Amino acid sequence: MSKQNYDVKLAVLEAIPQEEVKKPKNPIDVYLQESENLFIWAQEDKKQLVNTGLDWNVYVLDLPIRTGACRYAQAVWMKERYSQEEAAKEWKEEAPKAYTFRNDLLADFRFAFRRRSDLLARVRAIADGEGDADMIQDLMDISVLGKANTTELQAVKYDLTRLDLAAQMSNDLAELLAKANGATMDNSKAKELRDRAYTHLKEAMTEIKETGKYVFRKNPERFKGYISRYKR
């Protein structure tokens, strides 16, 4: 049902103005359970709440749909977040190997092209620069340069399959780094939609709670159902 609720609400979530989007301050699983509890609690008070101006259809009957949408959006974001954490772990393992491989390739080329000043200049240009993105590009540049000058490489009995490996490694590492980049996590589409789903749910929760607290301000037994147990 959560996926269906999410699909139903997607257009509504995307239409929320950016300046109105809020991030959860409390654990989202706790907030979702409070929403489930509030829906059940409010049923007994329908007459009093409606008579005080609460739109029952817009807020109470819609609450389970908003909750389901938020629950699904949270699950999607957590899946993406977990994938990014796994990618970050894999990057830490693979990056040192890639740097070593890149350096070995450059050393191989310096030897193979030692009598070609034009090619050595290309090798120096590739070696210039630093950082992960530069290393990934270096691997591709090395592959292209090597495949364009196989005569010199074959003269030193070079294993040309290493050029294909460099190109494949460049592609794989570029994808891995993009996935592992923690900076993208907070700005991801999945997190944005989770925050929007939370904002939409919070709108209904706040309206129901504020109305309930006003109506039952002199009735502690009913009032307690409209306040957050987590905050207490």
DSSP 119-165: HHHHHHHHHS--SHHHHHHHHHHHHHHHHT-HHHHHHTT--THHHHH
The tally of CA atoms less than 13 A away on the side-chain side of residue 80 is 21
Residue 231 located in a structural domain: no
Residue 132 located in a structural domain: yes
Q: What percent of the chain is helix, strand and coil (3-state, nearest 5)?
A: 80, 0, 20
Q: Are residues 178 and 97 in the same domain?
A: yes
Q: Both tokens of residue 18?
A: 């950016």
CA distance 41 to 7: 26
Residue 136 located in a structural domain: yes
Residue 232 located in a structural domain: no
Note down pLDDT in tens along the chain; length 232 residues.
689 999 999 999 999 999 999 999 889 999 999 999 999 999 999 999 999 999 999 999 999 999 999 999 999 988 888 788 888 899 999 999 999 999 999 999 999 999 999 999 999 999 998 999 999 999 999 999 999 999 999 999 999 999 999 999 999 999 889 888 864 555 578 899 999 999 999 999 999 999 999 999 999 999 999 998 766 5
CB burial of 34-63 (b: ≥16 within 10 Å; e: otherwise) equals bbeebbebbeebeebbeeeebeeeebbebb
Q: Are residues 147 and 124 in the same domain?
A: yes
Q: Are residues 202 and 116 in the same domain?
A: no
Show Cβ contacts of residue 44 under 8 Å, excluding neighbours closer than 6 positions: 222
Q: Are residues 95 and 145 in the same domain?
A: yes
pLDDT at residue number 183: 47
> Which residue do the tokens 């269906």 mark?
4
Q: Which domain holds residue 127?
A: 88-184
Structurally, the chain folds into a number of domains equal to 2
Q: Are residues 98 and 174 in the same domain?
A: yes
Q: Are residues 145 and 175 in the same domain?
A: yes
Residue 122 located in a structural domain: yes
Q: Are residues 201 and 136 in the same domain?
A: no
Say whether pTM exceeds 0.75. no
Show Cβ contacts of residue 173 under 8 Å, excluding neighbours closer than 6 positions: 91, 94, 95, 98, 135, 136, 139
